Chain A
Amino acid sequence: MSDDHDHHDGDEHELRVSKIRSGTVIDHVRGGQALNVLAILGIDGSEGEEVSVGMNVPSDRLARKDIVKVEGRELSQDEVDVLSLIAPDATINIVRDYEVIEKHRVEPPEIVEGVLSCPNAGCITTSGEPVDSRFEVLEEGVRCDYCGTIVRDEIAALIDT
């Protein structure tokens, strides 16, 4: 099921997570954020996706990092951008036939729609109206476009799952 034994040239800790044939590898996710990465991508396994997750593996760039590998799915730029909110150091590798054909860093989007829910109980978006949440991405944190609430930390806790 794994071809790990063939590949001792790379980051050997990465081998704890199986190689994928085609799909996306999200690397250098901040330690402990992998499940939030899946949540933000709306991946919960119910669609039968093959997903491997490595959590808190040692890394040179980050003391501990998470890795998420999604078989059979190439992430769109939008999805990648949203990831930057909780995994600002992440690198995205698009894999086809075991080859990395594209590698890029995440970049923060200007606006995130329908992904986070506003923590302000007085905000109109939390009261059953037919609107998606919408947040402006600030240098540090996000701000609700409707009520103006700024969230700096704990953005992952706002992920609408």
Chain B
Amino acid sequence: MRHDHLITSKQLTRGDIETILDRAAEIDADPSAVADRHTNTLLGLLFFEPSTRTKMSFETAMKRLGGDVVDMGSVESSSVKKGETLADTVRVIEGYTDALVLRHPKQGSATMASEFVDVPLVNAGDGAGHHPSQTMLDLYTIRENAGLDDLTIGIMGDLKYGRTVHSLAHALTNFDAQQHFISPESLRLPREVVYDLHQEDGGAGIREHESLEEVLPSLDVLYVTRIQRERFPDEQEYQKVAGEYQIGSETLEAAGDDLTIMHPLPRVDEIAPEIDETDHAAYFDQAHNGVPVRMALLDLLLSDDGAADRLGGGSDE
């Protein structure tokens, strides 16, 4: 099946993911080679929630491919304020542009929007739902640092509300990856996500823990997310767990030398600044990888030379 839209990481096979990551690596190696690949192409940025980074990253990606962007501006100033439906908004903007990037607070918004448009649509976050382009840059970073097969990864922090975590976990079921989920009891993965992960890989590679200690020595990658203080019923409850989930140099004494530490950023105090200068830190590279990965995604979705067919059009892998 050919994908015209990128809505969730679940829709992608291993072959699709490799196509995207390989293309990103090509672009990363020689960005100038694609500098005029999509001249006269206009990307519509529909951000119904503020997100400076993701938006700028898509904007940069489109411009580096020779295209340009139009932006609906803030929700406050748009016709959304007047009660226009999302279905109407995307149908109108589709007429102006060659592709759309949508960030919206409602879960399922990207799926719905994609049913109303013919141009490619990329989900840049639908509420607590999915954020597949973040997942692609996460996978790209993991592949560069540790490889995607024979991988032992710890995913730690707020696993309950973190859509980047859910998306990444789904995508990793395509690979030979052991996934350890580390969080306080109250912020465990939603049961629905666990249900899916078990469906997708038989559950063989999924473990849940409350403490990092027991799994840290075995990890190739530690993916840290922010534990939101405001999620806890009281400050004391937070203080009890907070220390367990912060990474400092003493934490890393138990870690392997090759441990790669990632974080979707922004961070607060999950990773001590002293880690930044070590070889473990991959989070700034991870953020920078957003541009070549999004260039690859846009290139694959926008190319009329059959490149889009490669997203799921090829092998059954």
B40 at interface by CB-CB < 8 Å: no
- A–B complex contacts, Cβ < 8 Å, 27 sampled: A120-B107, A122-B105, A122-B128, A123-B107, A123-B108, A124-B104, A124-B107, A124-B111, A124-B112, A124-B126, A125-B108, A125-B112, A127-B106, A128-B85, A129-B85, A129-B87, A129-B112, A130-B87, A131-B87, A131-B112, A146-B108, A147-B106, A147-B108, A147-B129, A148-B192, A149-B107, A149-B192
Residues of B within 8 A of A127 (CB): 106
- The number of inter-chain residue pairs (CB within 8 angstroms) is 51
A residues at B contact (CB < 8 Å):
120, 122-125, 127-131, 144-150
Residues of B within 8 A of A147 (CB): 106-108, 127, 129
Task: For the complex, give the distance between the alpha carbons of A24 and B70 in Å.
Answer: 57
Task: For the complex, give the distance between the alpha carbons of A145 and B112 in Å.
Answer: 10
Known: A122-B128, A129-B86, A130-B85. A150 touches B192 (CB 8 A): yes
Q: Are A146 and B127 in contact (CB under 8 A)?
A: no
Q: Are B128 and A146 in contact (CB under 8 A)?
A: no
**Cβ distance B121 to chain A, nearest Cβ, rounded Å:** 14
**Cβ distance B64 to chain A, nearest Cβ, rounded Å:** 31
Of A122, A128, A129, the contact of B107 (CB 8 Å cutoff): A122
Identify the interface centre among B86, B112, B115, B128: most chain A CB within 10 Å of its CB: B112
Residues of A within 8 A of B85 (CB): 128-130
B96 at interface by CB-CB < 8 Å: no
**Cβ distance B65 to chain A, nearest Cβ, rounded Å:** 30
Please report which residues of chain B, range 86-111, place their CB below 8 angstroms from some CB of chain A when the two chains form the complex: 86-87, 104-109, 111
B284 at interface by CB-CB < 8 Å: no
B195 at interface by CB-CB < 8 Å: yes
Residues of A within 8 A of B105 (CB): 122
Q: Are A146 and B195 in contact (CB under 8 A)?
A: no
Please report which residues of chain B, range 111-146, place their CB below 8 angstroms from some CB of chain A when the two chains form the complex: 111-112, 115, 126-129
**Cβ distance A110 to chain B, nearest Cβ, rounded Å:** 15
Residues of B within 8 A of A128 (CB): 85
Residues of B within 8 A of A131 (CB): 87, 112, 115
Task: For the complex, give the distance between the alpha carbons of A123 and B111 in Å.
Answer: 11
Residues of A within 8 A of B86 (CB): 124, 129
Known: A122-B128, A149-B192. A144 touches B108 (CB 8 A): yes
Residues of A within 8 A of B108 (CB): 123-125, 144-148
| Residue on B nearest A150 in the bound complex, by CB | B192
**Cβ distance A135 to chain B, nearest Cβ, rounded Å:** 12
Q: Are A146 and B87 in contact (CB under 8 A)?
A: no
Task: For the complex, give the distance between the alpha carbons of A146 and B8 in Å.
Answer: 11
Task: For the complex, give the distance between the alpha carbons of A127 and B87 in Å.
Answer: 11
Q: A123-B108, A131-B112, A148-B107 are in contact. List 10 more A-B contacts (CB 8 A).
A: A120-B107, A122-B105, A123-B106, A124-B109, A124-B126, A130-B87, A146-B108, A148-B108, A149-B107, A150-B195
Residues of B within 8 A of A125 (CB): 108, 112
